Structure 1
């Protein structure tokens, strides 16, 4: 039976970590287009207001050859990034086992979520079996830092809130503790946003994404299908 894992890889040489370091208030999630050769494009979803600081960080990043703004929705901007170097060139001075890095490309696994942080990547992936997960985790334990956050069998129900980003958890917790969800409400959206140091529009989108995820992992998976 397959496994679903969420884990943190601590390695400051990973792509775009320098961008996350320069913009610590941003939430940055990445999709990698692996079927595009040795330098696969990155699709980067950035939640931050304003976006200028992130683009400034792209301009100075040694990893980014060029970037294109694909579109904006609220405070989320979507970019396509063309790398200046491949993974091996990016990590070669920091990881001794480059053959092991190449072998990861053939692991029976699908990484479905990558969140870039100032210290590395937080990933969520599906692994065909325990051997496939062991190959992946042992490589990063030996070559960087690896922290397992959650490991379940596929088909097991997810814990409520699984998959929330750290900024989403912080936004929900702060809004709850300040009384934003009380009736009557004792803290407005502006009050919570000021406490977090972000705009009200950024907070609104962050809360909506977090609430959607909570619904997906609670009532969304237990209700019967809606009639057609």
Structure 2
């Protein structure tokens, strides 16, 4: 029976990790387009953060080549990015046998979401069976400093309902904000009041709400949208 897994790969040599470290308040989602040459193009969607800061980080990053802003909607921007390094240059010091990494591309798995975070990638993937998942996890455990951190592993018995990708802190922040009237018009509460209720900082509340809203949009609405015009 197939499995759905949500996990982190702790490896700061992965593409675009340096960009996120420069702009930590942006959510960066990466898709790989495997139809262009040996290395796939990076299709990058950013939400939040400063557009100028993100684009400056692209320009300064050694693993980013020429990039193009494809379109924008609100504070969401979509870019096509050419890798600035070969696979050997990107990961050769971290992974001694790159043929193993290339073999993962033909594994019985589909990686449907990659969120770039400081220090690595957070991914959601579908795996044909437990052996396929175990092989995938074992590869990254062998080749990364802090390894492979599993957040969720479920059997693919039934489709998940929208919102199941939320973490417990995100769910709690979203529910508290809603119940206190943060989403009302006019707004009846503030980030500071929500922060006091949750006993965290206002900046942490803002981040959790932003990530939770991004996750819900990606699960419910984004799959139905046509591509933005160039």
Give the TM bin, normalised by the shorter chain: 0.7 to 0.9
Q: Give runs of aligned pairs for residues 1-228 of structure 1, distance below 5 A.
A: 1-144=1-144, 145-158=147-160, 161-164=163-166, 172=174, 175-176=177-178, 179-180=181-182, 186-188=188-190, 195-196=202-203, 208-212=213-217
Counterpart secondary structure, 1:58: helix
* Deviation readout 1:11-40 (Å, 9 max, x if unpaired): 000000000101111100011002322121
TM-score by length of 1: 0.78
Unmatched tracts of structure 1, length 5 or more? 217-228
In the superposition, relative to structure 1, how do residues 143 and 210 fare at CA in structure 2: closer, same or farther (>3 Å)?
Answer: closer
The structural deviation recorded for 1:94 is: 1.3
Counterpart secondary structure, 2:136: helix
* Deviation readout 1:88-130 (Å, 9 max, x if unpaired): 3310011223222122121111110000001100011111111
- Judge conservation of contact 2:3–2:126 (CA < 8 Å) in 1: yes
CA-based RMSD of the aligned residues comes to 3.6
- Judge conservation of contact 1:178–1:192 (CA < 8 Å) in 2: yes
In the superposition, relative to structure 1, how do residues 159 and 184 fare at CA in structure 2: closer, same or farther (>3 Å)?
Answer: same
TM-score by length of 2: 0.78
Counterpart secondary structure, 2:152: strand
Looking at structure 2, the residues matched to 215 and 68 of structure 1 have their Cα atoms a distance apart, in angstroms, of: 27
Counterpart secondary structure, 1:152: strand
